Structure 1
Amino acid sequence: MPRVSMVVRHLLNREGSGVTDHVLLTWINEFSILLEELGHSLEVWQEGTRWNKVYYGVGKIFAIPEKDPHACSLPNVNQAMWESSADISLAVYQDPLLVYPQPHQVSITLGQSIPSPDMLADRSTPQTRREWKNQLMQGISSVNHVVTNNTQFIQWVISSWPGLSHKLKHIPDFLEPEPSHDVAPKNMPPSGDTIRIVFPCPALPRFGTSETLRAVNALLDQYSQVEFYFCGNLPPSIETHMQKWVDQRPRCYLNSGEKINYNFADIALFPIKREPVPVKSVIEAMEAGAVVIGSMWGPLVDFIISGYNGLLIKPTDTDIFLAVQRLIENPVLKENLGVKAQETRKSFKKDIWKSRWQSLINELLRGEVQ
C-alpha cells in the first residue's frame, strides 16, 4: 500500500507516553481514514526521544530527537523522513517551517494560523527573525500546495509574498460537535420570554471575561428578561470569587465545567482577544440556533458574516452590551440570525471536507498539479 508521511511537531509527548495535541489527533484520525479510502497508509514523524510505535487511528509514529526540540523547524525529523521516502507518494507538513531543509517532491503543508516570530521567545534577535521568515518563505514556495482553513492566513501570505498566492488552497475543516442531550443546565428555569445569554469560555483574560461581566452587569440592570449563564471552566483560585459575583446578582447562574447544551440558549458570547478560539463550541452554538456574538478576527471571520448569521464586534464591554441590546430590541433579527447560523453549520460537515481533500490528493498523485 502506498505510503503518505506527515511531519508534525508533537502529536504525542517526547517519550511517546501520551497525547499532547488532541485537536491534531482528531484531524489525523480522519485524514488517515480518508487516505485509506484512497488506498494509502499514513505514517507520522515527530520530535521525540527516538522511538516508534503503532498508534490506533493514526498508524505508525516515528520520533526523532532534535538538538533543540523547541526550535521553529525540525531538521532532523525532516531529514529522517526524507531518507525513508523512496516509496512515499506524498508528504504532508503540519506547518511551513517543518518543510525545512528538504521538501518531498510531492508535498503539501498546512497553514492553520498566522505564523509569529514570538515563538522564538527570548532567543529572538534580528538575525533569528530573518532566518525564521526565510525558512517560512522557502516552506511555502517549495511545496505543491499550502492548504489552510484560515482566510486570514491566506491574506497574510499574499501581503507578505504576492508571488506565492498560487500555492494557497482553502479547505475549511470539518467540525463535528458531540451529540447534545435535551437536558438544560442546572438552575435553568422555564423559558417564557427570557433572553438566555451563555458565556462558554474559560475565565481567563484572553477570552474577554472581565469585559463580559461588566456588560452583563449593565444588561441585568436594564433588562428584566435577561438571564446569564457562566459555563466556562474556572481556575480554583477564582471559583469562590465567581460564585460570590453570581450570588449577588439576580438571574445569574454558574454552571462551570458542565457540558453545554446550546439548545437552551438564545445568545452565546465569544469576545475573544487572542487565540486559541474554541471553534467547536462556536459551531455547536450555531447548530443549535443560538446567536453567536464574537470578536471580529481569527477563525470566527471565516464562518460568521456579521448581521447575516451572527454578530462580530470588538471585544469590549460597550460593544458586547450594544450587540446584546440590539438582539433584545429586535427579536426578528435574533430569530433570523439563528436560522442562518444553522444553515451555515451545514457547510462544515465531514463529508464536504473529505471530498475537497480527496480531490486535491488525487490531482497531486496523478501529476496534474506542478
Structure 2
Amino acid sequence: MYPPLEGGEKALKRVLIVGLWRRPTRASDVRWTTLVKVLQQLSHPVEVVAPVYGLDPGDLPDSEAEAGVVSFLHTDMDRLLTALEEARLVVLTGDLLDVGTSGLETLLTPRHAGLVYAAGVPWLAAQLGIPVMLYAVGVDPGIGDTGRLLLRDVCEAARRITARDAVSRQILIDLGGPPERVEVAADLERSAAGALELLGQGPDPWPTGARRRVLEAVRHRARGESITPGSVGWAEGEAARTSIRMAASARRVPSLVRVIAPQFFDPSGQRVIFGGAERYLIELAGVLRDLGADVEVVQMATGGGWERSAFGLRVVGIPAANFFEIEPTLYRAGALRPALTIHLAFWTAGHATLPPSIGISHGVFWDQAYYQRPEHAQFHRARILEAIEALDVLVSVDANTVNWLRTVSVRLTEKCVRIPNFVDLRRYFPGEREDDGRVVVLYPRRLVADRGFWFMAEVIPDLVRDHPHLVVELVGDHAGEAERQAAERLMAEFPGRVRWRTVPFDEMPDVYRAADIVVLPTVYAEGTSLACLEAMACGKAVVATRVGGLPELVIDGYNGLLIEPTAAAVRGALERLIGDPALRTRLGLQAVETVRAFDIVDWRVRWRDVLRTFWVPAESKG
C-alpha cells in the first residue's frame, strides 16, 4: 500500500499517470515532460508509474525505470491494478479522441483499453477514494455516449481539472466538471503543480485491506476467459458501495455512536428481542453514555422502516434486504456519519463500514454442521474474514474466537481485544434457599436448538419419573412452534413438576437463587455465557457443555461439571448432582470465587479503554 504522509521526507509517493499513447519518457510530449519534471522537484521521493499504449510487446522490457518513470505495457493487468492499489494520486492526461470506442464493456476484460484510454482507471480510483486529477486533457467533440458517461463520472469525482484547450474545457464542463474548477492549461507548469497539493492530501481513509479486496476481485474477473457485461454491473455495484464512504465523509457527528444490531426488536418493530446480545448492548450503551455519547441503534426492518425506544435506547429500523445491507441502505438514504460505528455482531460489517469501527464476537457461531458443509464452508469463512478485515478492532468475549482466527490469519489477530462477559456482583449473589425437600433444576435459556433445548426435552421425562422430588424450571422465550408445543407437552405430562415461564430481566437473580442446579447444555454458538456467570455468582452447581467459551468459565469438578454436548452426558451429570448435595455445595462455593474475576465493574473499565482509543469523549460522568 502507499506509505503514509507522516513518514517524513523519505516517504515514497507513487503517482499513476494514464492516457498516453506512446513510451511515456518521450521528450517530445511537452505536457508529459512538464508533469514529470514538477513531480520530481518534490523533496519527497516520487515514483511515476505509467502504462504504455501504442507499442508491441517486444518494444518494451518487462520492467523499466527511466528518469524516475516505471513503464509497462497496458495489457499487463496485474501491474496496472497493483499500481492503482499503491497510488497516492492518479492523473489522467493525453488526448481522449475516441474515448467512446472502448467503454464500460471492456472495463473488466483482458482487452482492458477502457481501463486506460477511456478513463477507466481514474474512474475506479475515484470510487476507491484515491485522488484524481485531469491534467491538460484534450477531448474530441465526437466522443460517444458510453465515453461521455464514463468521463462524466471522472469529472464529478476529480479534485483538480485542466483542459488542453477551450473546446475541451467546455466539454469537460458539460460532462460535470465545475466551471470554476476547470481551467485551460495555458501554463503547463502551473497546471502540473496542482498534483503536489493532491499528493499532500492522499487517499481517503479506508479499513485495512479494503482497497486490496476490491482490486483483487477486479483481477479475478479480468483473468476470466469470457467476461460478460454483467461484470460491469458488479463493478458499478462496488462503486456504489465505495461511494457511500465518500458521501458520508463530510457529515460526521462528533458525539454520535451508531450500533448496528442484527436485532433488538423483531423486524416489524412490535416486540423486543431480549437475549444475551441485547443485554450486552444495554450495558455497553450505559458505558457509552457515561463517556458523553449519543447512542443510536440501527437494525433491519420490514415494511417502510420505523423508529422505537426501549431501555433508554433509540432504535431505528431500516428496510434493508439483509443484515449486510443495513449500512449501505442507511448511507444511501443520507444518514449522518457517526464518530464511531459498533457492530454488535461483527459479521454484519463489510465494504460500507466507515472507520473507526469496532465489531463484537459473542462466540464462534460456525461450530455447527451447516457451516461445515462443502457448499457453505468456503463462503462463510470468507465472509467472516472479510468482516474482520473491514473493522478496526474486534472485541471478543472469549479466547475461542481469537484462537480460531490465529489458525487462519495471524495478522488479523492483531485487531483482537479479549473482553470476557460480565456479571453484576451487586445483584447476583448467593442467597438462602428454604429446604423443602425438592431439588430444582433450572434451564435459564431460550427454548432453541443451539442452547440445547432438545437435549432437555429428551432427558426431562425419565429424570422426573426417576426422582419424585425433582422440579424442572424452563425460563426463557421459545424460538418456534415446535419448541412451544414440546414445552407445553412436558408441562401437561408433569403438572407442577415441569414449569415453563418467562420473567423480566430484573427478576432473574431470584430465579437463580431458588434453584439447586443450573444446566447450560449448549450445542453450538456460545461465548462466555452471561447465564453461566450469573448462575455461578449465585452459588449454583452448574452443568455446562464443552462448547465455545464455556470451558473458560467452568473447570470440570472444581466449580461445575463440564460435559460433552449430548443428551446422555446431560442426563448423567444431572443424575450425579441430584444425588450428591455435598458436591452441589462445593461446586457452588468455588463458582462464587471464580466469578469475582468477571465483575461488571472491570468489564466497564476495559471497554472504556478500548473506546478512548477511537474518539475523544465528553467529560466522563464517572
Give structure 1 stretches of 5+ with no counterpart.
Answer: 221-225
- Cα drift, residue 302 of structure 1: 3.0
Note closer, same or farther for the CA distance 1:258–1:60 as it changes in structure 2 (3 Å cut).
closer
CA contact (8 A) 2:487 2:500 kept: no
The one-letter code matched in structure 2 to 1:363 is T
- 1:347 partner SS: helix
Deviations 1:220-271 (A, max 9, x none): 4xxxxx8321111683566355543x47xxxx93333376734344333333
* Residue from 284, 307, 311 that aligns with 2:557: 307
**Matched-pair contact (CA < 8 Å) for 1:117–1:129:** no
1:163 matched to 2:416? The reply is: no
- What secondary structure is seen at the aligned counterpart in 1 of 2:474? coil
Quick check: 1:41–1:59 contact (8 Å CA) kept in 2? no
**What code does the residue aligned with 1:257 have?**
R
Per the normalisation by structure 1, the TM-score is 0.74
Change (3 A) 1:131 1:175: same
Residue 10 of structure 1 corresponds to which residue in structure 2?
263
CA contact (8 A) 1:214 1:317 kept: no
| 3-state secondary structure, aligned to 2:421 | coil
Q: 1:13 to 1:284 in 2, by over 3 A?
A: closer
- State the superposition RMSD in angstroms: 4.1
Partner of 1:232: 474
Code of the residue aligned with 2:319 in structure 1: it is: P
Change (3 A) 1:150 1:232: same
Q: 2-side partners of 1:238 and 1:175: how far apart?
A: 29
State the Cα distance separating 1:190 from its structure 2 match.
Answer: 2.4
Decide which structure has the larger Cα Rg and report it: 2
1:45 corresponds to: 298
Instruction: Give the alignment partner of residue 463 of structure 2, picking from 216, 238, 255.
Output: 216
The residue number in structure 1 matching 2:436 is: 190
Q: Which of 573, 590, 594 is the equivalent residue of 1:340?
A: 590
Which residue identity lines up with residue 539 of structure 2 in the other structure?
Answer: G
- The equivalences for 1:139-288 within 5 A come to 139-176=387-424, 190-191=436-437, 196-200=439-443, 206-207=452-453, 208-213=455-460, 216=463, 220=467, 227-232=469-474, 235-236=484-485, 239-240=488-489, 242-244=491-493, 246=494, 253-257=497-501, 261-275=511-525, 279-288=529-538
C-alpha displacement at 1:297, in angstroms? 0.8
Whether 2:317 is the aligned partner of 1:63: answer: yes
Could you tell me which amino acid in structure 2 is paired with residue 213 of structure 1?
Answer: I
Looking at structure 2, the residues matched to 173 and 29 of structure 1 have their Cα atoms a distance apart, in angstroms, of 13
Find the aligned partners of 2:613 and 2:488 in 1 and give their Cα distance. 53
Counterpart amino acid of 1:64?
A: I
CA distance 1:61–1:323, shift in 2 (3 Å): closer
Name which structure has the greater RCO, CA cutoff 8 Å, separation 6+.
1
Letter paired with 2:605: S
> Does the CA-based 8 Å contact 1:72-1:119 persist in structure 2?
no
- The number of aligned residues is 344
Read off the aligned partner of 2:393 and give its amino acid letter. Answer: H
Cα deviation, 1:79-119, whole Å, max 9, x if unaligned, reads 4499622xx32111123332211332211111113244989
Q: Retained in 2: the 8 A contact 1:82–1:102?
A: no
| TM superposition score normalised by structure 2 | 0.47
Q: Once superposed, which parts of structure 1, at least 4 consecutive aligned residues long, lie more than 6 Å away?
A: 117-121, 177-184, 202-205
User: Aligned ranges for residues 78-97 of structure 1 at < 5 Å?
Assistant: 79-80=331-332, 84-85=336-337, 88-97=338-347
Query: Shift in Å at residue 176 of structure 1?
Result: 4.5
Structure-2 separation of matches of 1:102 and 1:59: 24
Output one character per residue of 1:174-215: Cα deviation in whole Å (capped at 9) or x when no partner: 33597799897xxx9724xx7x25142677763212553376
Q: 1:168 to 1:277 in 2, by over 3 A?
A: closer
Cα displacement (A) at 1:332: 5.2
Q: Give the Å deviation of 1:140.
A: 0.8
The verdict on how the C-alpha distance between 1:322 and 1:47 changes in structure 2, with shifts beyond 3 A counting, is closer
Against the structure 1 CA distance between its residues 355 and 212, is the aligned structure 2 distance closer, same or farther, given a 3 Å change threshold? Answer: same
Q: How far is the alpha carbon of 1:172 from its aligned partner?
A: 1.9
Distance 2:585 2:431 in 1: 20
Cα separation, 1, equivalents of 2:464 and 2:297: 49
Q: Matches of 1:323 and 1:164 in 2, distance apart? A: 39
Answer whether contact 1:288 1:342 (CA < 8 A) is retained: yes
For the residue of structure 2 that corresponds to 1:363, the secondary structure is coil
